[in-house]
Amino acid sequence: MQIAVIGLGRMGANISRRLMKAKHSCVVWDANPATVQELGKEGAQPVESLQAAVKALPKPRAVWVMLPAGRITEQTIAQLGELMDPGDIVIDGGNTFYKDDIRRAKTLAAKQIHYVDCGTSGGVWGLERGYCLMIGGDTAAVEHLDPIFAALAPGIGTIERTPNRDGHDPRAERGYIHAGPVGAGHFVKMIHNGIEYGMMQAMAEGFDILKNKASDKLPADERYDLKMADIAEVWRRGSVVSSWLLDLTAEAMAKDPKLDAFTGDVEDSGEGRWTIEAAIEEAVPANVLASSLFTRFRSRQDHTYGEKVLSAMRFGFGGHVEPKK
């Protein structure tokens, strides 16, 4: 299948590579010509503009937008709405707010252009591991794109299969779901990221407590000089809290036990805020998720070891670099 990928950053470039690895044909464009040419050397069809990307595709066209949420995505999708024809499909694979999806889909629907939102999880490891995909849109458009989603998803792999899944959507086992109508994909991904905040915060606070057990404020016979890297490693082996986030933490601590490479200045990318907004709208208590978001705000004022743990995990799974001072 042929598809255009617009935006070749950390994830867009690897999405193109994974699709090409599965024998799909990718037309690629980015504001950075060097990135476009690099993908061209790897087998993609490089183009010099958004207009050229659309023209290079057979009808019905499919264009995957992989850009930061906000103005640049808004402008790009608006431009595509002027360039594409009835029956074509725009996919937003970034972290867009789901209510923006609903609005955009209505605008494009007036031109008979399909809009699909795809929450994409996998970060910088997606090329190797595959991407977990949460998809929203009308059934016809989603089914047309199924070869693309199947190629990007991890597949069943070596994960033990869940009992009693007969009658459930088999795509979920392969790492992608059609969550519902437009906006549903990004809504599910938004809550996924909110949960991620809470899980990361719990782990960070736990390691902070462990580290501070050596504090001179404690009685001498109650002080322990605990080895963070060894604790992270042993928890990976059969523990209830074993996880990919713990794997990344152990890797970071083995390399730099004090995490001196990190300041603990933890950014938030928007989905945590939107998750709390949704909780307020639905009157659902979300104490842990709200607290984890507010801790990120506070992290920009002073830093604990726990916040360095958060920064280490974010760098590990997504290549997120702390802001320069």
Active site residues: 189, 196
Q: Scan for tokens 């945590």, then name that residue.
A: 272
Task: With beta carbons less than 8 A apart as the criterion, state whether 202 and 246 touch.
Answer: no
Task: With beta carbons less than 8 A apart as the criterion, state whether 184 and 98 touch.
Answer: yes
Q: Starting at the earlier edge strand, list the strands of the sheet with 114-121.
A: 45-46, 25-29, 2-6, 62-65, 89-92, 114-121, 132-136, 176-180
| Angle 144-146-149 from CA coordinates, rounded to 5° | 135
Max Cα-Cα span within the chain: 74
What is the secondary structure of 79-146 as a DSSP string?
Answer: HHHHH--TT-EEEE-S---HHHHHHHHHHHHTTT-EEEEEEEE-GGGHHHH--EEEEES-HHHHHHTH
- Token pair of 123, please? 């970060």
Tell me whether strands 45-46 and 62-65 are parallel, antiparallel or unpaired.
unpaired
Strand pairing partners for 90?
63, 115
**Helix axes 98-109 and 71-83, enclosed angle (nearest 10):** 20
**Euclidean distance between CA atoms 285 and 301, whole angstroms:** 27
Buried b (16+ CB within 10 A) or exposed e, 238-253: eeeeeeebbbbbbbbb
- Token pair of 77, please? 């999708």
Buried b (16+ CB within 10 A) or exposed e, 22-37: eebbbbbbbeeeebbe
